Structure 1
Amino acid sequence: MRVILAPMEGVVDDLMREILSAINPYDLMVTEFVRVVDQLLPEKVFYRICPELQTGGQTLSGTPVRVQLLGQEPNWMAENAVRAIELGSKGVDVNFGCPAKMVNRSNGGAVMLQYPEQLYNVVKAMRDAVPSEQPVTAKIRLGFNDKSLYMENALAIYEAGASELAVHARSKVDGYKPPAYWEYITDINNKLPIPVIANGEIWNRNDAERCMQVTGCDSIMVGRGAISLPNLAAHIKGDAAFSWQQALELMLNYTDRELEGRKSTYYPARIKQWFGYLNRQYDEADELFRELRVYKTAEEIIAVLRQARSKLPD
């Protein structure tokens, strides 16, 4: 069984990957997307999205990291895939699932699921350009406006030479609303001879086991669940789920690390965002979030977190 951390734009950056890889046995982590339009991007763009390229393409805990590209022009996608590999990415992934309106309006992400031939052309160009020993993978949803092309899209990506396919079991219009339609992944997994990675509504070990049973996949990808339960991958692989005390200690560790880094000005928004996920798992997080959401400065928020920690047993 493999557990892979999903790319989550604006949520899972290099600091989050570092923190989560230190407490979880993830088999792979995929970056936020690198937007490709009409040029070979400078190296600094890749290093900004994936600083792990400077440490051998892995986190300090040793988890491999794969750069994800988002774009629609085959030649530029291929050239940037080669650059990602040359800089040290552990393979290269392509985003055909992003539901963001701004991305879709510029013909990227999930909007491409309306055009199986275009998916084929992008993956084929990347596969032809990248050394054969390096994986070229893709992530899709079940469709854009509906699910009518889910199998055609999956087959196009396979026939183009993809090494693996991750499938988020919703269409673009489904957004993130439950349920996840795992039965479509079952169909894809039964049809494709390459590994299929199941994604969607995996919040705990029971969800992971049910998903693998339904789909027949032995690889799963977790996204929001990995933020809601910080040690989700470890939990899926047999560890006890983090207690609230452990989760709060992690928030304080994250706080220290975030305030040291280049994105410290975003800390209030980022910590509130994380609490928005934690409250699915912990009632205490919901209570604490209601208290801290009115504050706008890091100092005010840190005081609330430390006060909450002081009330817990040592």
Structure 2
Amino acid sequence: MQIALAPMEGLVDAPMRELITDMGGVDWCVTEFVRVTDSALPWPTFRRLAPEHAGDWRTRAGVPVRLQLLGSDPERLAENALRAVSLGAPVIDLNFGCPAPTVNKHRGGAALLQEPALMQRIVGTVRQALPANVPLTAKMRLGFADTSLTFDCAQALEDGGAAAITVHARTKLDGYRPPAHWEWIARIRERVSVPVIANGEVWTVDDWRRIRAVSGCEDVMIGRGLVARPDLARQIRAAANGEEVEPLPWADMLVRIAAFAERLYAADPDGQYLPARLKQWLKLLRLPSGWPDEAGRLFDDIRPLKTAAACRQWLAAATAGR
């Protein structure tokens, strides 16, 4: 049984991957997508989105990091996949699930679920270009507007040469609205012979149990659930082993929030990135599966702050003596 940390653009970046994998329980994670258009991307693009390349493509905790590409040009995707491999990327993942309108407008992400033949050509072209020892995987949703092409898309990925398929159990138009249709993952498993990884609406240990029971998948990928509750994978791992683990106390979580802020501050002390990211994260931490009361109060305290220095100062005071 494996637990993967999902790629989420603008949310699960390198600092977040480090924080979550430090908590334990995660087997591997995937970068934010590298957008490929009509050219070979410069090396700094790969290094910026996957700084773990300098650590043998592992987070500080030693968790492997896979690189994800997004685009619709088979040849350019293959070219950039090779560039990533030359930088040491151990696994290449292809994005056929991003629901962002700006991405879909340019024929990327979930928009490709309307074109199974192109999906197969993309996977096949990239697979043919990669060394045989580098796995190629793909992530998809159930469809764009509906599920009429779900099986065609999954079959296209397998026929193209994907070694595994992660399925987010919603369509593009569903966005992130519950529920996730886990029963469709089970149907996809019946149609393809490669491993299928279940994804969508896992916020608690009970959700993990249910998605595995309904989908029939051993392996699960979790995105927002791990951002809202960074110790969720550790809780799941303990449950899988028949053990009990105490949920992370808020005091310890607050220390980790402060450390996360310090890393963002060091990268951009004068910009607006830290306040925006901190408020974005706290909105998830205050969900019912996280720390609704404590994170809610922290969000109210942080919300008026406009600068990185002010956020940093407030968190330093809040964690003093801990």
Query: TM-score surpassing 0.5?
Result: yes
SS in 2 for 1:76: helix
| Among 253, 278, 287, the residue aligned to 1:271 | 278
Aligned partner of 1:23 in structure 2 is: 23
Aligned partner of 1:119 in structure 2 is: 119
1:24-72 deviation digits (Å, cap 9, x = unpaired) = 2311110001111111112221111111112211112211111100000
Is 2:96–2:138's contact at 8 Å kept on the other side of the alignment? yes
Distance apart, 1:306 and its partner CA: 4.4
Distance apart, 1:151 and its partner CA: 1.0
SS in 1 for 2:33: strand
Aligned partner of 1:170 in structure 2 is: 170
1:101-159 deviation digits (Å, cap 9, x = unpaired) = 11111111110000100100000001111112211001111111111111110011011
Q: How many residues align?
A: 312
**CA–CA distance in 2 between the matches of 1:269 and 1:230?**
19
**CA–CA distance in 1 between the matches of 2:110 and 2:213?**
27
**CA–CA distance in 2 between the matches of 1:97 and 1:48?**
22
Amino acid corresponding to residue 294 of structure 1 in structure 2: P
**CA–CA distance in 2 between the matches of 1:10 and 1:169?**
21
For the pair 1:232 / 2:248, whether they are aligned, the reply is no
| Among 272, 276, 296, the residue aligned to 2:306 | 296
- Range with greater deviation from structure 2 (173-182 or 53-62): 53-62
Aligned partner of 2:242 in structure 1 is: none
Q: Note closer, same or farther for the CA distance 1:40–1:303 as it changes in structure 2 (3 Å cut).
A: closer
**CA–CA distance in 1 between the matches of 2:206 and 2:317?**
33
- Range with greater deviation from structure 2 (128-137 or 254-263): 254-263
Residue correspondence of structure 1 range 1-314 to structure 2 within 5 A: 1-238=1-238, 239-262=245-268, 265=271, 266-280=273-287, 281-282=290-291, 283-309=293-319
Q: Note closer, same or farther for the CA distance 1:263–1:64 as it changes in structure 2 (3 Å cut).
A: farther
Q: Note closer, same or farther for the CA distance 1:303–1:51 as it changes in structure 2 (3 Å cut).
A: closer
% identity of equivalent residues: 44
5+ long unaligned stretches in structure 1: none
Amino acid corresponding to residue 49 of structure 1 in structure 2: L
Q: Note closer, same or farther for the CA distance 1:37–1:263 as it changes in structure 2 (3 Å cut).
A: farther
5+ long unaligned stretches in structure 2: 239-244
Amino acid corresponding to residue 299 of structure 1 in structure 2: A
Is 1:164–1:195's contact at 8 Å kept on the other side of the alignment? yes
Is 2:98–2:110's contact at 8 Å kept on the other side of the alignment? yes
Q: Note closer, same or farther for the CA distance 1:240–1:178 as it changes in structure 2 (3 Å cut).
A: same
Q: Note closer, same or farther for the CA distance 1:264–1:123 as it changes in structure 2 (3 Å cut).
A: farther
Is 1:229–1:241's contact at 8 Å kept on the other side of the alignment? no
SS in 1 for 2:305: coil
Distance apart, 1:301 and its partner CA: 2.7
Amino acid corresponding to residue 271 of structure 1 in structure 2: L
Is 1:24–1:232's contact at 8 Å kept on the other side of the alignment? no
Distance apart, 1:263 and its partner CA: 7.3
Distance apart, 1:252 and its partner CA: 1.1
Amino acid corresponding to residue 48 of structure 1 in structure 2: R
SS in 2 for 1:217: coil
Task: Report the RMSD for the aligned CA atoms in angstroms.
Answer: 1.6
**CA–CA distance in 2 between the matches of 1:94 and 1:304?**
40
Is 2:262–2:312's contact at 8 Å kept on the other side of the alignment? no
